[in-house]
Amino acid sequence: MSNHSAPLLSREQLDPIDKDLNQNSLTSSRKRRLRRCRSAPRGDCIYNNDEDVKTDEPPPHRSIIPMFRDLNPNLREVIMFFILYLTIGTLCFYIVRNQISGHKTNGVLDAVYFCVVTMTTVGYGDLVPSSSTSRLLACAFVFSGMVLVGHLLSRAADYLVERQETLLAKAFDLHKTVGPREFLKELHNKLRHKCYVTFLVLVVLVLVGTIFLVMFEKMPVIEAFYCVCSTVTTLGYGDRSFNSGTGRLFAVFWILTSTICLAQFLLYVAELNAETKQRELVKWVLTRRITNNDLEAADLDGDGVISCGVYII
């Protein structure tokens, strides 16, 4: 008998079996990997063909409040601090409402009004602390309000720095398609448009405040405009203020809106000035011809070779 027996199946019959075995092994291996990773964080990979594998959904947004989902993280943080400040301040000043002297209307409304006036440093003087406890409490909220305003200004400064840092990158990236002059002109026009819109909103707020004081507080037009200007600029001389309940309810929202709008307008003006200087720098960089002195200055290590990273530095 021959030692070598003939194969039971031919090569053509073995090929489909090998393919099926490889496919089953791949599917089983993938399922095993998914089983081991079910306790891991959610991922973007979704396998709908396997019935025994749980489908992962996209990770939820970190903000559970719908109105905050599309806000900038820095702005969201400032809003949360402001809500916390206003809530605690209103509660504290309502508790010591009998220790605050002046023209009063409603306990809760006066507490919110006094908290807003204190935070914005308007300080009309129509409501003033009259005891040691209320005065110490007012001092604490004056400083905490200034810290909150300083935090807001620091975020605004970060915004300016980020805008200046991204200007050069955008210019280098877009000048290939639209040209440096067209890009800089479009960017400058957008910023100027924001300044115009903010200034228009500020004018509308001044007019609304003046008309409201004339109609509800029965002030002459000049005195109403004087009170509006002293409020928006946070001077708060105190000879004219909101005395009625309706006026203080209006003042709670109007003072916050008008002072923030003025600060935003000043921020855009500062950004426009910085953008003009940065625009001149970008124009000089994009239109200037490279000389041999520039290449020698870019060779920091002195090896005669200039890489992209060394040239940018």
Cα–Cα dist 270/276, whole Å: 10
Q: Which two tokens stand for residue 192?
A: 């100027």
- The pTM for the full model equals 0.62
Name the band, by pLDDT with cuts 50, 70 and 90, for residue 151.
confident
What is the distance of C-alpha 182 from the center of its chain?
28
In the chain the beta strands, taken as DSSP E runs, fall at 100-102, 127-129
pLDDT tens, residue by residue, 292-304 = 777 777 776 777 7
Mean pLDDT, range 269-274, rounded to an integer: 83
Kindly report the backbone phi and psi dihedral angles of residue 302, in degrees, each rounded to the nearest multiple of 5, phi listed first.
Answer: 70, 25
Highest mean pLDDT among 34-48, 157-171, 210-224, 289-303: 210-224
Name the band, by pLDDT with cuts 50, 70 and 90, for residue 166.
low
Q: Give the three-state DSSP class for 313.
A: coil
Name the band, by pLDDT with cuts 50, 70 and 90, for residue 33.
very low
Q: Are 300 and 310 in contact (CB under 8 A)?
A: yes
Q: What is the 3-state secondary structure (H, E, C) of 77-123?
A: HHHHHHHHHHHHHHHHHHHCHHHEEECCCCHHHHHHHHHHHHHCCCC
Cα–Cα dist 148/170, whole Å: 33
The residue with tokens 């625009």 is 279
Close Cβ partners of 2 (under 8 Å, ≥ 6 residues apart): none
Q: Are 270 and 240 in contact (CB under 8 A)?
A: no
Name the band, by pLDDT with cuts 50, 70 and 90, for residue 70.
low
- Of the two residues 45 and 118, the one the predictor is more confident about is 118
Cα–Cα dist 233/236, whole Å: 8
Q: Which of 265, 244, 99, 107 is nearest to 196 (CA)?
A: 265
| Whole-number pLDDT of residue 117 | 92
Name the band, by pLDDT with cuts 50, 70 and 90, for residue 47.
very low
| Whole-number pLDDT of residue 157 | 65
Mean pLDDT, range 131-138, rounded to an integer: 92
pLDDT surpasses 50 at 61: no
pLDDT tens, residue by residue, 220-254 = 999 999 999 999 998 888 888 999 999 999 999 99
Written as one letter, the residue type at 161 is V
Q: Which of 167, 196, 163 is nearest to 184 (CA)?
A: 167
pLDDT surpasses 60 at 205: yes
